[in-house]
């Protein structure tokens, strides 16, 4: 059977030999540079052999990513990276497959394709760069732009409500759902490594600054002066605590998350502990809603990780089971089965 094999660790990968000879075409200062750098670090640390690693992307600034790595890669068509990545993974189950997409590529034209990748749970890592804008096409509003966003395609303010990518992934039954930021490199590497370790479809939303068409949208989450009051890191089995002095927490009141001032030991005891293994999608879904709550911090980290057989594993198992039962197939015989016509 074409089993998912454990890839040998390659200790010869360096920053130099993982970098391709292509000129990087992103604007100076774009958040994509940091994500590329953290991806290189992840590949080097994990020792993933370059010939066993494939990056598949759609169209957009972010989707130029595969050019810049000396691994295998496909720059495919708009929104269709999930289809190509599915084929790659099914044909070669021992490859490490990464889909690189943007908020426009993945959630607009490619939304339907992403949905099916998530629900099928193929062992593929999806990294979505969210800059809340179409960068490559010069600044039209995207499906993650907030209501009222003034752009070249919405000069009087956009009218449609934004997609929360984490809620979307959870709604599609994704088994690993996490969030990181371009300007928090250490945490981003941690999330990329966890995505790789997960056997099933992993989704990491990465907040990315487009300094040309949407500069500073995550400033309050990345600026050292405001970050600690606006960001909470999710740690499995740990309460949600944030703030410069670590004196604020998040407590659950019925179906509502609320802010809790932490003055005494008893205040700490009121906090609930994050459970990324909670199989109830409602819990992670509520947590994803904190992103839109101006009273509460934005969560970064793993929202949910569930163990479930991946589609590719079941797919190859099914082929083996049927072969055992019915013997090896014969394509010619199959084509001539049932009614056939001869056209004169
Ligand atoms: C079929 C098709 N429709 C539209 C386009 C134009 N187009 C190219 S990239 C893009 C959006 C990219 O936005 P995003 O995925 O957020 O990537 P970013 O450039 O911001 O990284 C669009 C609409 C296209 N290339 N092909
Ligand atoms: S347009 Fe924006 S997203 Fe595209 S390369 Fe420039 S800064 Fe980056």
Digit-coded pLDDT (tens) for 240-290 = 999 999 999 999 998 899 999 999 999 999 998 999 999 998 999 999 999
CB 85 within 8 A of CB 56: yes
The pLDDT value recorded for residue 294 is 94
Q: Tell me whether strands 241-242 and 248-253 are parallel, antiparallel or unpaired.
A: antiparallel
In 10 A of CB 325, how many CB atoms? 7
| pLDDT band at 334; cut points 50, 70, 90 | confident
Q: How far, in Å, is the centroid of ligand 1 from the Cα of 102?
A: 8
**CA torsion through residues 269, 275, 278, 282, sign:** positive
CA distances from 28 to 24, 102, 120, 185, 306 (A): 10, 18, 38, 18, 39
Nearest to 96 by CA among 212, 13, 213, 184: 13
User: Quick one: the chain helix, strand, coil %, rounded to 5?
Assistant: 35, 20, 45
Q: How far, in Å, is the centroid of ligand 1 from the Cα of 343?
A: 45
The torsion of the CA quartet 323, 327, 333, 335, rounded to 10 degrees, works out to -10
For the stretch 183-224, pLDDT in tens is 999 999 999 999 999 999 999 999 999 999 999 999 999 999
CB 287 within 8 A of CB 301: no
Q: How far apart are CA 189 and CA 193, in angstroms?
A: 6
Is the confidence at residue 6, as pLDDT, over 80? no
**CA torsion through residues 166, 115, 134, 305, sign:** positive
Q: How far apart are CA 103 and CA 133, in angstroms?
A: 7
Collect all residues with Cβ–Cβ distance below 8 Å to 59 and sequence separation of at least 6: 75, 76, 77, 78, 79, 105, 136
Is the confidence at residue 2, as pLDDT, over 70? no
Q: How far apart are CA 90 and CA 315, in angstroms?
A: 8
The pLDDT value recorded for residue 3 is 47
Q: How far, in Å, is the centroid of ligand 2 from the Cα of 27?
A: 5
Q: Tell me whether strands 140-141 and 241-242 are parallel, antiparallel or unpaired.
A: unpaired
Q: Is the CB of 212 under 6 A from ligand 2?
A: yes
Q: Is the CB of 99 under 6 A from ligand 2?
A: no
- For residue 213, give the ligand 2 atom closest to its CA: 2
| Mean pLDDT across 104-123 | 98
Helices 185-197 and 32-46: crossing angle, nearest 10°? 50
Q: How far apart are CA 203 and CA 191, in angstroms?
A: 10
Q: Tell me whether strands 176-181 and 298-305 are parallel, antiparallel or unpaired.
A: antiparallel
Q: How far, in Å, is the centroid of ligand 2 from the Cα of 211?
A: 7
Helices 81-91 and 111-120: crossing angle, nearest 10°? 30
Q: How far apart are CA 4 and CA 7, in angstroms?
A: 9
For the stretch 45-82, pLDDT in tens is 999 999 999 999 999 999 999 999 999 999 999 999 99
Across the chain, what does the average pLDDT equal?
Answer: 95
């Amino acid at each position: 059977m074409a089993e998912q094999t454990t890839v040998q660790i390659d200790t010869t990968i360096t920053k130099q030999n993982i970098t391709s000879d292509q000129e990087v075409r992103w604007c100076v200062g774009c958040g994509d540079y940091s994500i590329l750098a953290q991806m290189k670090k992840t590949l080097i640390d994990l020792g993933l052999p370059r010939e066993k690693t494939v990056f598949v992307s759609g169209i957009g600034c972010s989707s130029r990513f595969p050019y810049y790595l000396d691994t295998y890669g496909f720059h495919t068509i708009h929104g269709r990276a999930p289809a190509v990545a599915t084929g790659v993974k099914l044909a070669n189950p021992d490859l490490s497959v990464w889909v690189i997409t943007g908020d426009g590529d993945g959630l607009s034209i490619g939304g339907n394709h992403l949905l099916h990748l998530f629900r099928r749970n193929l062992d593929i890592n999806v990294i979505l760069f969210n800059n809340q804008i179409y960068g490559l096409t010069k600044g039209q509003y995207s499906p993650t732009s907030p209501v009222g966003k003034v752009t070249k395609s919405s000069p009087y303010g956009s009218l449609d409500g934004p997609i929360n990518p984490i809620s979307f992934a959870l709604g599609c039954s994704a088994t690993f759902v996490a969030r990181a930021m371009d300007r928090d490199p250490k945490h981003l590497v941690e999330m990329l490594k966890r995505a790789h370790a997960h056997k099933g479809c992993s989704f990491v939303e990465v907040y990315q600054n487009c300094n040309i068409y949407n500069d500073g949208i995550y400033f309050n989450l990345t600026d050292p002066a405001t970050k600690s009051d606006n960001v909470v890191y999710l740690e499995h089995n740990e309460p949600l605590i944030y703030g410069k002095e670590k004196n604020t927490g998040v407590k659950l009141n019925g179906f509502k998350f609320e802010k809790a001032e932490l003055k005494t030991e008893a205040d700490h005891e009121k906090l609930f502990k994050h459970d990324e293994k909670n199989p109830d999608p409602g819990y992670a879904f509520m947590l994803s809603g904190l992103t839109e709550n101006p009273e509460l911090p934005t969560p970064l980290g793993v929202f949910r990780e569930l163990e479930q057989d991946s589609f590719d594993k079941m797919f190859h198992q099914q082929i083996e089971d049927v072969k055992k039962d019915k013997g090896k197939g014969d394509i010619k015989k199959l084509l001539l089965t049932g009614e056939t016509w001869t056209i004169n």
